[in-house]
Structure 1
Amino acid sequence: MVIGAAVPLEPGRTRRIFVCGGTGSQGGGAISLLLRHKNTVVRTLTRNAKSNAALQLMSRGVEVIEGDLKDEKPVCEALSGCEGCFASTYSDHDGTEGQCGRNLCAAIIKNQVSLVVFSGGERINVEGMDNKAEIEDLWKRMIAEARKEKGKGWVQPRIVFLHSAFFMENVVAKRGTKRVKVDHDRRHYEFSVPLKQHMRVPMIGGDDIGKVAAAILADPERSLHDTDKIPFPSMWEIKIAGDAVTPQQFVDTFLRLKNRNRSEQDKVTGEYREFSLQFFRSLPIPGARLIVGMYEWYHRGCPGHERDPERCRQRFPMLRSLEQWMIDEGLALIEANAYEDTVWHRLEQAAQSLLIQLYGLWMSVNCFGGGK
């Protein structure tokens, strides 16, 4: 059910595009670009249609449906009458991401959606990180089965698998964990992520992924020009990144931009310290080993994850280099998330640690059959 007023479509002029996770980074990026097209009505699905983020989307003319990707019925309803779709799935490390992908594909087939962009990923043989690749394989099987069942008259949806990179935002904070420490005078910044100091990592601004998806949905012929099809009918694969930098270069870029209009005596300093993987190994949650496996893959040089950022930016100008992302939002994001190592912060960390342990216990019992 659409929360608020549904937007009527004008015959021959208006189309409806569905965007997963409109209140998040990727979905929000797609919506911001799609709303510039006057002939496009945007619809999204959110677990809480009364949240401030959802209400803001409605005020901008976005159709909002309340529901969860884990549930087939609201997903099918959300895609009803949609011509295009930007699909993305989210991992809670509870084994349900695959079901979300299945529900999306089933709804795409049932509602005859003609063009789909899926925020997926290449197979790198790392548990947890291959979820997206497994969903892509599932979609290929489901589409093949539908083609066989429906016969020659069925028009198969065009599907673009979009493979992105490490989020620039994740160097600053991730899932409530702040990764930049600052002294009391806010003159010295310490960045700490589980990545080697001088290892080059493909990176991207989170909402840039959605903007690339929106560009493909808005003009597929232009966006897919010179893109090789994968060995499946009407399917393409595009790898994107805005930049490829080391953690130290990330810090250096921040300092250079932060100090550009400061006198010598007012300049701030900074450093990078690799965060130990031992912290994640000790976390009492089912997803901990998946996190460790992901960063160990990065430590090996992230094989199979090659990107050409300059070529990507030429093809999709909305992709931003680290410097541009830092100017647009990174500097402000760092200031908003940088924390002081105070007694209060340590109490917050202790409380967060307790919550993580309780969450781990709940997950082991309810999702993985522990204690039964």
Structure 2
Amino acid sequence: MSTSNQRLITVFGATGSQGGSLIKALLEDGTFSVRGVTRNADGDAALKLKKMGVEILYADYDDPLTLDRVIAGSYGVYVVTGAYIEKFYEDKELARGLRLVEAAIRAGVEHFVYSGLPSCMEVTGQRCPEFEGKSKVEEFIFASGLPSTSLRQPVSMENILIDFIPLLQEDGTFVWNIPMEGRPLPMLNPADDGRAILKVFKDPKKYIGRRIGLAGDFKTIEEYAAIASRHVSPYVIKATKMTANEFKKLASPRADDLGTMFEFLQMDASAYSLTDTQKLDPDIMDFDSFMRLNASELKEKLKYQYDAKIIQKDHLSCIGFQSAN
């Protein structure tokens, strides 16, 4: 709720994991007033936020007039562009990002915080549309002169529960098909990064002009699988032996894009920093803590495969894999 003596933070994607986490942190902290923006202002999640005292407004990223209305009066704005499917279209991602930046400039926003990504193309020579779209928006933001910070999101821990569920093999074990080939993978629980984002808003002199890669953990898939196995015993989860290049050949519409993403993360994960993230939030959730909270849900998903004897030899569950954005 906006009050006359508090600066206003407007949060796009208010009912999503990232936006919801930031709103929770803002409400607990009390320094700023809070406005949440969503395309479903009458949905259950939005109504719940309203009951908590959050001003909820409707906006459509494709309608500049609605953007001007919801950004008006904001000291700071947090932006997540792209819905689950839509964000994989680079041109749409870029167009939406540019509209949001232009609206923020018109409104005189003093701190624009963007959920960004680096460019795979610059490292691998290959395109990953989700990354390239957000990377181009990042470049536009910083070139525009708008006081901004980009907080780059890594792979989401939630994907072990959603799109990258470990798959049952003939020997009764489960394989987690994230092809990092022994290299560490930055991961984050997007529902837990609100405190880190809030710290950026509270210390603008330190963070304006910076690109910061968030990470709650930074381990190999072998290490992540061992942690998960402890929490879902007697089930055993193992890391895939698949290479990123082999992953690209899978029968999934996005296998090639995702294989490029994994190649990028193997070659250069320096865009993400566990140390920098812990400076923003010393209590950021690691993977062991995430599994402690979510073990029962994962165990049910593994049990279903085991009971139904759904043996996965072809690793086709990669359809729809998503990062934290």
Aligned-pair RMSD on alpha carbons? 3.2
Match of 2:11 among 12, 19, 39: 19
Aligned to 2:3: 9
* Counterparts of 1:70 and 1:337, CA distance in 2: 37
Deviation at 1:312, TM superposition (A): 3.1
Q: TM-score scaled by structure 2?
A: 0.79
Deviation at 1:135, TM superposition (A): 0.3
C-alpha spacing 1:292/1:271, structure 2 compared with 1 (3 Å): closer
Q: Does 1:273 align with 2:240?
A: yes
Q: Does 1:292 align with 2:259?
A: yes
Deviation at 1:137, TM superposition (A): 1.1
C-alpha spacing 1:308/1:113, structure 2 compared with 1 (3 Å): closer
Match of 1:180 among 163, 166, 186: 166
Q: Does 1:242 align with 2:231?
A: no
Match of 2:194 among 198, 201, 210: 210
Aligned to 1:71: 63
Q: Does the 8 Å CA contact 1:163/1:240 hold for their aligned counterparts?
A: yes
C-alpha spacing 1:193/1:58, structure 2 compared with 1 (3 Å): farther
SS for the counterpart of 1:282 is: coil
* Counterparts of 1:87 and 1:272, CA distance in 2: 34
Deviation at 1:274, TM superposition (A): 5.1
* Counterparts of 2:95 and 2:297, CA distance in 1: 33
Aligned to 1:256: 230
Q: Does the 8 Å CA contact 1:16/1:84 hold for their aligned counterparts?
A: yes
Q: Does the 8 Å CA contact 1:255/1:269 hold for their aligned counterparts?
A: yes
Deviation at 1:74, TM superposition (A): 1.5
| Aligned amino acid, residue 29 of structure 1 | S
Q: Does 1:158 align with 2:154?
A: no
Q: Does the 8 Å CA contact 1:33/1:211 hold for their aligned counterparts?
A: yes
Q: TM-score scaled by structure 1?
A: 0.70
Aligned to 1:368: none
Aligned to 1:96: 92
| Aligned amino acid, residue 168 of structure 1 | M
Aligned to 1:120: 116
Q: Which runs of 5+ in 1 are unaligned?
A: 1-6, 144-156, 228-233, 260-266, 347-351, 357-372
Q: Does the 8 Å CA contact 1:208/1:318 hold for their aligned counterparts?
A: no
Q: Does the 8 Å CA contact 1:69/1:75 hold for their aligned counterparts?
A: yes
Aligned to 2:51: 59
Q: Which runs of 5+ in 2 are unaligned?
A: 311-315, 321-325
C-alpha spacing 1:77/1:279, structure 2 compared with 1 (3 Å): same
Deviation at 1:172, TM superposition (A): 3.0
How many residues get paired?
300
C-alpha spacing 1:278/1:272, structure 2 compared with 1 (3 Å): closer
Q: Does the 8 Å CA contact 2:76/2:201 hold for their aligned counterparts?
A: yes
* Counterparts of 2:103 and 2:249, CA distance in 1: 37
Please, which moves more after superposition, 106-115 or 209-218?
209-218
Larger relative contact order (Cα-Cα within 8 Å, sequence gap ≥ 6): 2
Q: C-alpha deviations, 1:60-114, integer Å up to 9, x for none?
A: 1222222322221212211111111111212532331011101110111011111
Q: C-alpha deviations, 1:135-161, integer Å up to 9, x for none?
A: 011123333xxxxxxxxxxxxx42111
C-alpha spacing 1:27/1:189, structure 2 compared with 1 (3 Å): farther
| Aligned amino acid, residue 137 of structure 1 | E
Q: Does the 8 Å CA contact 2:176/2:237 hold for their aligned counterparts?
A: no
Please, which moves more after superposition, 160-169 or 314-323?
314-323
| Aligned amino acid, residue 165 of structure 2 | R
Identity over aligned residues, as a percent? 21
Aligned to 2:101: 105
Task: Specify the structure having the higher radius of gyration (Cα).
Answer: 1
Q: Does 1:317 align with 2:279?
A: no
Deviation at 1:303, TM superposition (A): 1.8
| Aligned amino acid, residue 303 of structure 1 | D
More helix, by proportion: 2
C-alpha spacing 1:106/1:212, structure 2 compared with 1 (3 Å): same
* Counterparts of 2:277 and 2:49, CA distance in 1: 29
C-alpha spacing 1:60/1:24, structure 2 compared with 1 (3 Å): same
* Counterparts of 2:143 and 2:239, CA distance in 1: 45
C-alpha spacing 1:270/1:237, structure 2 compared with 1 (3 Å): closer
Deviation at 1:35, TM superposition (A): 0.8
Match of 1:137 among 124, 136, 139: 139
* Counterparts of 1:93 and 1:331, CA distance in 2: 29
Q: Does the 8 Å CA contact 1:69/1:104 hold for their aligned counterparts?
A: yes
Map 1:37-52 → 2, pairs under 5 A: 37-52=29-44
Q: Does the 8 Å CA contact 2:174/2:237 hold for their aligned counterparts?
A: yes
